[in-house]
Amino acid sequence: MRSVRARLFVGLSVLVVGTNIGFGLLSYRRAAEEATELQDAVLHQVDRFAVQAGGTGLDLTDAQDEPEFRVVIEVLGAVRPGSPLAGVPGDTPDGISTVGKGGARWRLLVRTRPDGKRVGIAQSTASRDERVRDTLLQTLVPLLLLLPCLLLLVGVIIQASFRPLSVLAGRLDARPPDDLRTLPAEGVAVELLPFIDAINRLLGRVGEMVEHRRRFVADAAHELRTPVTALTVQAENLSRLGMPAEALPRLAALQGGIRRLGHLLEQLLSLARYEEGTAAATAGTSLDAAARDVVAAMIPVADERSTDLGFSRIEPADVRADPTSLRVMIRNLLDNALRHTPVGGRIDVEVYAEAGFAVFRATDDGPGIAADEIDRILDPFVRGGHVETEGTGLGLSIVRSVAETCGGSVVLANRTDRPHGLVATVRIPAASEARSDSAVIP
Q: What is the pLDDT of residues 181-216, one digit of tens each?
A: 888 877 777 877 888 889 889 988 988 887 777 777
Question: What is the band of 346 on the pLDDT scale with cuts at 50, 70, 90?
Answer: very high
Q: Where are the domains of the chain?
A: 4-137, 190-271, 280-429
CATH class assigned to 280-429: alpha beta
Question: What is the band of 68 on the pLDDT scale with cuts at 50, 70, 90?
Answer: low
Interval 225-248 mean pLDDT: 79
pLDDT at residue 351, rounded to an integer: 94
pLDDT at residue 270, rounded to an integer: 67
Q: What is the pLDDT of residues 363-393, one digit of tens each?
A: 999 888 888 888 788 877 676 655 555 556 6
Fold of 190-271: Helix Hairpins (1.10.287)
Tell me, letter by letter, the H, E, C secondary structure of the chain. CCCHHHHHHHHHHHHHHHHHHHHHHHHHHHHHHHHHHHHHHHHHHHHHHHHCCCCCCEECCCCCCCHHHCEEEEECCCCCCCCCCCCCCCCCCCEEEEEEECCEEEEEEEEECCCCCEEEEEEECHHHHHHHHHHHHHHHHHHHHHHHHHHHHHHHHHHHHHHHHHHHHHHHHHCCCCCCCCCCCCCCCHHHHHHHHHHHHHHHHHHHHHHHHHHHHHHHHHHHHHHHHHHHHHHHHHHHCCCCHHHHHHHHHHHHHHHHHHHHHHHHHHHHHHHHCCCCCEEEEEHHHHHHHHHHHHHHHHHHCCCEEEEEEECCCEEEECHHHHHHHHHHHHHHHHHHCCCCCEEEEEEEEECCEEEEEEECCCCCCCCCCCCCCCCCCCCCCCCCCCCCCCHHHHHHHHHHHCCCEEEEEECCCCCCCEEEEEEEEECCCCCCCCECCC
Interval 12-27 mean pLDDT: 82
pLDDT at residue 348, rounded to an integer: 94
